[in-house]
Amino acid sequence: MSKHTSDNLRIKRKHLVWLKDAKGLSQSSIDKAAASIATYDRWLKGKDYRAFHSERARAFKRHLQGLRNERTGAPLSAATINGVLRDVMKLFDWMADQPGYKSRISRADIAYLTPDRKSEQARRSTLWKPHPSPEQVNHLLSIMPAETVVQRRDRALLAFLFLTGSREGAAITVRLRHVDLANKCVQFDGRSVDTKFGKSFTTSFFPFGDDVEQILRNWIRELRQDHLFSDTDPLFPKTRVAVGPSRRFEAAGIAREPWAGPSSAARIFKQAFVNAGLPPFSPHRVRDTIAELAKLHCKTPEDYKAWSQNMGHDDVMTTFSSYGSVSPGRQVELMGRFRRRGPLPDEDAVIDE
């Protein structure tokens, strides 16, 4: 290993520790930053971090434009490229204050890594995103197979995500003790559940109907009565794999441990929609569906505030700006209604009787 490579590795590790202990980032965010820096390292081919300059930054941006997704073969999306650039910028911005680096790295040169404004604006836009409608959700859950314990777990997972608006990373760390069926709510304890920013909050079930709630009730009853799970066991245990009659590894029920990461839950979510003949929606779209459902139930500011708090948001505007966009078709419909209705009466006008 060259001296430059070892120096790069040492300062990179120090930066990742800083992200964890000084900035308080979650492990998933740290892993993402490490992956972005690894992309830069592969392109750098062992050259010294301290030799960073504006032309190197510009060349790396051009390199990213030419990369392709390893799985799909498609060019990297603007969001992916911008994410890599932001992570690498954070590394060099931090290094610019470190002994042995701050005299070599200029923040004016680091600025050349800034993502272009057009793609960054597109990433931050609040345009309507395709997501399953509440009707599609109820249809999907009604036709999902439930013959095996793994199938029943998968169906309960989807029911739980829509009932609570939980992110899949939080859902797979929920324990049985966190679910209060009597009061139809879940205690998302940030000390043991992988919530965003480690927040703790209570979420009552969103109104998707008794049938959806019953799926979750039946699953918890099965875990406790048939599999003898206790309060400390995971609500969604991972699949137990064993050698089957065909002498190949295959699903053989459930284990008592949770999934190691959210990728399996995300794959189950997408595949369930595909199997039902629907688009392969991402679990990230669950909260868009819940925001759409709010329009059917919320009438007053207090209603919207309660709904927003139930999603774990401190500010109701977070709910509106991130998940409350109106679909293009609905937008056209509402504008047509406004034109037909005409202006509202002026309440301040004095009526001469």
What is the average per-residue pLDDT within 138-152? 95
Q: Is 67 left (phi over 0), alpha (psi -120 to 50) or beta?
A: beta
pLDDT-wise least confident of 166-170, 238-242, 310-314: 310-314
Per-residue pLDDT tens digits for 108-121: 999 999 987 766 56
Residues 203-220 as b/e (b if ≥16 CB within 10 A, e otherwise) read bebbebeeebbebbeebb
Check pLDDT > 80 for residue 306: yes
Mean pLDDT of 333-339: 65
The fraction of the chain above a pLDDT of 90, given in percent, is 57
Phi, psi (deg, nearest 5) at residue 216: -70, -40
Q: Using CA of residue 155, residue 157, residue 158, residue 163, what is the dihedral sign?
A: positive
Length reported for the chain: 353
Q: Are 161 and 171 in contact (CB under 8 A)?
A: yes
| 256 against 72, higher pLDDT | 256
Q: Tens of pLDDT along 41-73? A: 999 999 999 999 999 999 999 999 999 988 788
**pTM for this one?**
0.70
Q: Range with the lowest mean pLDDT among 195-209, 278-292, 300-314?
A: 300-314
| 192: helix, strand or coil | coil
| Residue scoring higher pLDDT (184 or 242) | 184
How confident is the prediction for the chain on average, in pLDDT? 86
Burial class (CB in 10 A: 0-12, 13-18, 19+), 86: middle
pLDDT tier for residue 240 given thresholds of 50, 70 and 90? confident
Give 172-183 pLDDT, tens digit per residue.
999 999 999 999
Highest mean pLDDT among 92-96, 182-186, 238-242: 92-96
